[in-house]
Amino acid sequence: MSISRRAATELIHAAEMDLSEVVPLTPPIYETSTFVFENAKQVVAFNAGRSAKYLYSRYGNPTVVGVERQLAALDGAEKALLFSSGMAATATTLVAHLKAGDEVVCASAIYGGTLHLLNDLLVRFGIVTRFASLDELAGPEGLIGERTRVVWFESPTNPTLRCVDVGRVAAACRARGVLAIVDNTFASPMNQRPLSLGVHLTMQSATKYLNGHSDVTGGTIAGSSALLEPIETARRLLGTVIDPHPAYALGRGLKTLPIRIARHNANAQAVAEFLAADRRVSQVYYPGLRSHPEHALAAAQMSGFGGMVCFDLGGDYSRAERLYDRLQIIKRAASLGGVESLISMPVLTSQWGHSDEQLREAGVTHGMLRLSVGLEDPQDLVEDLDRALQEA
Ligand SMILES: *Cc1c(COP(=O)(O)O)cnc(C)c1O
């Protein structure tokens, strides 16, 4: 029989109920930091790994685990892990698999946060990074040295959407017992499945296409259970796990990923073709155009060309600035992969503060614009660009 309780106690415990008859269609948000056990035997069973129960949300939470299952299915992976951001996924993965004295070979065309993590932070723990150009990555066999443990790269790259032969880098890594890891944020697994091309692990910023509505920060890594085990332990120790609430929003976004990506691909192709046919635009970079330097490679390793388009107004900063400032539907904002079309100027964002020599190496000019093509009607996007180009 339950004991009688005073008001302060009731306020805390009155909402507890038997939920065994409650069967929701969608997985609930388990907004709880901890989980209840009935008795000491259950705790012992949990500690011995003989229990499906949960202990504490930094270790695991059912809302988060449900979304991790969606992500594993998406990547064709044995397992996936969720993090509080893409950078949390990257940092936790590298810390888990590297130690002092190890070397990372990293593509020089890489997300800025990844570059600074390696160059400014992990270097202080004795982890050394060697940066590799796209030409070097095209012949990856010579890149791997005695101390190399990880090769980390992206394809397509930011902002010029150049492509790396994912299978070839993976094969070179496998031949030398080195981990090949792809940041697949730009393509998303709907357009490119790196694990099926042979890489060991695939990382993504879930902030971008996976969630797709620009209202969640998250990150993920997928691969074999064996390779994810040390990463899961590191996530527990670093506390880089995602919260249940953003995990729920991400899980909802993921349900529409296939139809969103199909539309992103189609809209981007339409916008890229409009820009490529326009004499006011000097150059368009989109893997789905025949003029793209790796169009054939992209067609072979991708099932769609993605929603990112880059274009150049003759290297002219003032023209790029005028176009940027005059767009009405397309919003001026960092990030990508959401339903809203967003535009950025690489010299003000990813290449901010770079010297002319560094810009040349990255293939970036002062007149370049990077467009994340959203899910608006493509004709409205084309008309917005056309109007802004008239004044640029
Ligand atoms: C945004 C992004 C990241 C970092 O992800 P966050 O969720 O912002 O931490 C990593 N790689 C690429 C390619 C990105 O676009």
Complete domains list, the chain, with CATH = 40-254 (3.40.640.10), 257-390 (3.90.1150.10)
Minimum mean pLDDT among 97-101, 138-142, 206-210, 256-260: which range? 138-142
Does the predicted TM-score (pTM) go above 0.85?
Answer: yes
Closest atom of ligand 1 relative to the 89 alpha carbon: 9
In the prediction, which pLDDT does 4 show? 86
Q: Which ligand 1 atom is the nearest neighbour of the CA of 207?
A: 7
Q: How far is the CA of 53 from the centre of ligand 1 (A)?
A: 33
* Atom 4, ligand 1: residue with shortest CA distance: 86
**Position 201 confidence tier, pLDDT thresholds 50, 70, 90:** very high
In the reported structure, the alpha carbon of residue 214 is separated from the centroid of ligand 1 by a whole-number distance in angstroms of 13
Mean pLDDT, all residues of the chain: 97
Distance 208 CA to ligand 1 centre (A): 8
**2 pLDDT tier (thresholds 50, 70, 90):** low
Q: How many CB atoms lie within 10 A of CB 209?
A: 29
Q: Which residues contact 100 (CB under 8 A, 6 or more apart)?
A: 125, 126, 127
Percent of the chain at pLDDT exceeding 70: 99
Establish how many alpha carbons lie within 13 A of residue 262's alpha carbon, considering only the half-sphere containing its beta carbon. Answer: 3
* Annotation says 312 is catalytic: no
Q: How far apart are CA 44 and CA 155, in angstroms?
A: 46
Over range 22-44, report the average pLDDT: 96
Confidence of residue 3 (pLDDT cuts 50, 70, 90): confident
Protein residue with its CA nearest to atom 15 in ligand 1: 185
380 is an active site residue: no
| Annotation says 58 is catalytic | yes
State yes or no: is 183 an active-site residue: yes
SS3 string, 221-275, reads EEECHHHHHHHHHHHHHHCCCCCHHHHHHHHHHHCCHHHHHHHHHHHHHHHHHHH
Average pLDDT over residues 131-144: 95
Task: State the average pLDDT over residues 328-346.
Answer: 98
Q: What percentage of the chain exceeds 90 in pLDDT? A: 98
pLDDT of res. 1: 52
174-197 pLDDT per residue, tens:
999 999 999 999 999 999 999 999
Asked if the model's pLDDT at residue 378 lies above 70, the reply is yes
pLDDT at position 74, please?
98
Report the pLDDT value the prediction gives residue 383, as an integer from 0 to 100: 98
Q: Which residues line ligand 1 (CB under 6 A)?
A: 85-87, 111, 113, 154, 158, 183, 185-186, 205, 207-208, 217, 219
CA distances (Å), origin 270, targets 275, 284, 338: 9, 12, 17
